[in-house]
Structure 1
Amino acid sequence: MRPATATALVLARRVGIVLLFVVILLRPGFGRADVPTQLADVDVVVVIDRTRSMAALDHPGESGPEPRITGARADLTALAEALPGARFGMLAFGTDARVVLPFTADSAAFDAAVETLYLEGPKDGVGSRADRPVPELKEMLERAAEKAPERRRIVVYVGDGEDTTDGDTTDGDQTYADLDDLVAGGVVLGYGTPQGAPMPQDDELDGSLGYVQDPETGDTAVSRADLDNLREIADELDVAFEHRTGPGGLERVAESFRASYSDGAGGHQRPAKNDLTWLAAVLLLGLLLLELHAGWRAVWSSRHTLAPRRGGDGSTTRTGAERPTEVLR
C-alpha cells in the first residue's frame, strides 16, 4: 500500500472515531417513548400557623409526644408525595402573614420550604389569630386565578386553631367565607389537643432550655388547641376537617381533591422509543480495535527493524538508524 494511501486511511479512521463519539453523545434514535411524568391541574396553597403554640408537645409520635409542627411537616411531605405534578405554594402566618413559597411544581423546593419553616420565638408576635392570613390568602388566590384560570385552587389549612387575641386591629373583621369563589376544595388539618401541652423555649424544640412561661403567673404556659375554631374555618371554606392524631391517611385526603392528570414531558425532551446509540457504539468499537491493531503493528515493526543482526562469524551489525556513521578521512 502506498504511503499516501495509508496515511489517508489512518486520518479517516481517526476522524471517524471522533465523529462516532459525538454521535453517541447525541443519542440518535427515532420514535417517541412514553414517559411517566404527570401534570396535575391543581394549585395547592398551604396556609400554616408558625406561632409558638405549634411547638406544644401534644402530637402523638412514635417515641412519645412530639411538637405539633413536627407532625405537620411529616403530613405536608406525605401530601406532596400523594399529589405528584401539582403546584404547591405556602403562606405562613404568625405576627403577620407572608408568602414563603410561590406556586411551583418543584417538589424539592416545597419539601425544603416545609423543612426550614421556623416558628416564632416565645416572646415574638402579638398573639395567635387563626384568621390573620385571610387578606394575603385572598390576594394569592386571585393572582393564581388570573394567571391560570383553568387550574383548580386547593387550600390546605394547617394549625391548632388557638386564638389568644380578641381582635385584629389592622384588618378588622375577616372570614374564610370571603374566599368561596376562589377555592375549589381543600382540607383543614388540626394539630394538638384541647387539654394542651407546654411549649419548649429552644429552637430545636427538645426542652433543653425549659418551657415557655406565662408572664402573668410565672408558671409553665400551656397551649390548648381549639378544634371548634378549626371546624368553623373548615365550614367557611366548605372543606373537610381532619384532626391529625398520627401519621397516615393523607392519600385519602389527596384523593378528595379530585385532581386530574395529563401526560407531560416536564420541560424535558422525551427519549427516543428506538435508540440507535448501540449501533454507533459497535462501529466505534470496530474503529478502536483497528487503531489498536495498527499501533501494535507499528511497535512490532520498529522493534524488528532496530533489532541487531548476527553475522556468519558471530559478530553483530546494527541496522537502520543504529548503524554507526563512517568518518571520512
Structure 2
Amino acid sequence: MNHLTLSPALGWPVGLAVAVAMLACAVAQIVLHIRRRGQSDETVWACVRRSLTCMLVAVMALTPSIVSSTNSRAINTTDVVVAVDVTGSMAVKDAQYGSDEQLSRLDVSKQAVKDITAMYPNSSFAALRFGASGTLDVPLTPDSKAIDNWADTLAPESTSVSAGSTLDVPIDQLLLTCKSIHEQHPDDAIVLYLISDGEQTSSKTRRTFSSLRRYLSDAFTIAVGSEQGGNIPMTGDSVNEGDGQWVTDPETGEPGVSRMNADDMNTIADELSGTAIQLNATTTMSSGASKEASGQWRVTHTTKQRTRTVAVVWPFAIAVALLLAFEAGAWITQSRRLL
C-alpha cells in the first residue's frame, strides 16, 4: 500500500534549514508587500507569485516521497563465495586484526567475513566451512546479514572428529558451488575468499586449486595466525573453553604447536591466479576488495517484502519553473516600460 512521506534528499538538518529559510522568505515577502502597499508598484499577483515560489522550494527541500512495498530487488552481478577453515588449529589464539590484541584465528576470520560482506554492498554471497569435510552452509543469497549471522555461528570442529588438516578439503564443494553459480548467472563476476591458517598436518599430497579458475573472476587467500604459532586447545562438547587442555603431539607427548603457513597460502593463491593476504596487526580486509567486481545490475524477485521510497519532486519543480517564467516575463515587461 502506497503512502506519502517526507525524505529530504539533502538530509533532515540541511533540508529542514532550507525549508525554514524559504518559508521565512515567503512570510517576509507578504509582510513587506503589506507595509509598502501605497509606496510600491508591486501587484498582489507578484506578491503571491514570489511567496508561492518560496513555499514550493521549501516543500522540495523536504522531498515529498511515496513509500511503496515491493518484492523486487536490484542486485549487483558480483557473487562472492567465502570458505572458512574450522579445523581445531583455528582455535589457537595467536591472530591479530588491525590491532595488537591477540584473538583466536577463527575470531579474526569472523571479523574478516563481515568486512567482506561490507565491501560488496547489494551483491550475492555463498558461504561454506571446511574441516574434516567441506559443507555449503549458505547457498547463494543477496542477504548479507545471513552471511554475517553465519559467521557468528562458526566454531572449531571437535577434536574427536579431527583427522589432521588437509587444505584441499573444500575443493570439491567449491567446484560444485562455483559451477552452479556460473550456470545460473553466466555473466556474473565470481570472487572467492579462502580463509585459513594454511596448516596441513595430513600426510596426503594436497590437490591443486587450479581447477576452480575456469569459474572464478578473482580469488583471495586470507592467512590468519602467526608464524610463531601457539598451543592447540582441546575442543568439543565435553571441553570447556579456557580449561587448559591442549592437543598433544603424539611424537613428543607435549602440547602440539600450530603455526600459520603463509607459503602454502601464497601457493594456493598462485594456483587460483589470485592474491594472497596475511591478516595481522596492520593488515585487515580493507585491502582485499576485488578489482574484478561487476558494475552491472540485475533485478530479482524475493519472498521478503521491502519498502521503496520514490521522491516526487517533479510536480513542484514544474510549478516553480512556471512561476519563475512568469517572474522573468514580468521583469522584462516592467523594464521596457521604464525605458
Match of 2:291 in 1: 256
> Taking structure 1 as reference, are residues 205 and 79 closer, same or farther at Cα in structure 2, changes over 3 Å only?
farther
1:181 maps onto 2:214 in alignment: yes
> Taking structure 1 as reference, are residues 150 and 32 closer, same or farther at Cα in structure 2, changes over 3 Å only?
farther
Indicate which of 60, 70, 85 corresponds to 2:96. Answer: 60
Deviation sequence 1:188-237 (CA, Å, 0-9, x none): 10012222111222569852343222234331111111111111100000
1:143 maps onto 2:172 in alignment: no
Match of 2:79 in 1: 43
8 A contact 1:187–1:240 mirrored in 2: yes
State the Cα distance separating 1:55 from its structure 2 match: 1.0
Q: Distance in 2 between matches of 1:263 and 1:43?
A: 12
* One-letter code aligned to 2:3: R
* One-letter code aligned to 2:312: N
Q: Distance in 2 between matches of 1:54 and 1:257?
A: 29
Alignment of 1:194-205 (within 5 A): 194-202=227-235
Secondary structure of residue in 2 paired with 1:143: helix
Deviates more, 1:149-158 or 1:159-168: 159-168
Deviation sequence 1:48-69 (CA, Å, 0-9, x none): 1110011112112656322111
* Structure 1 residue runs without a partner (length 5+): 1-24, 276-329
Q: CA RMSD in A?
A: 3.0
1:237 maps onto 2:272 in alignment: yes
Q: Distance in 1 between matches of 2:185 and 2:240?
A: 40
Count of aligned pairs: 246
Question: TM-score, normalization: structure 2?
Answer: 0.65
1:246 maps onto 2:281 in alignment: yes
Match of 2:201 in 1: 164
8 A contact 1:187–1:239 mirrored in 2: yes
Q: Distance in 1 between matches of 2:241 and 2:169?
A: 28
> Taking structure 1 as reference, are residues 263 and 248 closer, same or farther at Cα in structure 2, changes over 3 Å only?
farther
Question: TM-score, normalization: structure 1?
Answer: 0.67
Q: Distance in 2 between matches of 1:243 and 1:63?
A: 15
1:94 maps onto 2:131 in alignment: yes
> Taking structure 1 as reference, are residues 91 and 212 closer, same or farther at Cα in structure 2, changes over 3 Å only?
same
State the Cα distance separating 1:88 from its structure 2 match: 1.0
Q: Distance in 2 between matches of 1:205 and 1:192?
A: 22
Q: Distance in 1 between matches of 2:300 and 2:176?
A: 31
* One-letter code aligned to 1:246: A
Match of 2:309 in 1: 271
Q: Distance in 2 between matches of 1:250 and 1:233?
A: 18
8 A contact 2:156–2:235 mirrored in 1: no
1:211 maps onto 2:246 in alignment: yes
Q: Distance in 2 between matches of 1:96 and 1:54?
A: 15
> Taking structure 1 as reference, are residues 205 and 190 closer, same or farther at Cα in structure 2, changes over 3 Å only?
farther
State the Cα distance separating 1:152 from its structure 2 match: 1.0
Match of 1:103 in 2: 140
Q: Distance in 2 between matches of 1:115 and 1:215?
A: 32
Q: Distance in 1 between matches of 2:235 and 2:208?
A: 33
1:27 maps onto 2:3 in alignment: yes
Q: Distance in 1 between matches of 2:299 and 2:200?
A: 44
1:120 maps onto 2:157 in alignment: yes
Match of 1:221 in 2: 256
Secondary structure of residue in 2 paired with 1:90: strand
Deviates more, 1:117-126 or 1:233-242: 117-126
Match of 1:21 in 2: none
Q: Distance in 2 between matches of 1:273 and 1:26?
A: 13
8 A contact 2:189–2:293 mirrored in 1: no
Q: Distance in 1 between matches of 2:100 and 2:270?
A: 34
1:84 maps onto 2:60 in alignment: no
Q: Distance in 1 between matches of 2:203 and 2:82?
A: 25
Q: Distance in 2 between matches of 1:75 and 1:255?
A: 14
Q: Distance in 2 between matches of 1:261 and 1:78?
A: 22
Secondary structure of residue in 2 paired with 1:66: coil
Q: Distance in 1 between matches of 2:148 and 2:65?
A: 35
Match of 2:14 in 1: none
Deviation sequence 1:24-79 (CA, Å, 0-9, x none): x741699879xxx8632111111111100111121126563221111111111011
> Taking structure 1 as reference, are residues 185 and 105 closer, same or farther at Cα in structure 2, changes over 3 Å only?
same
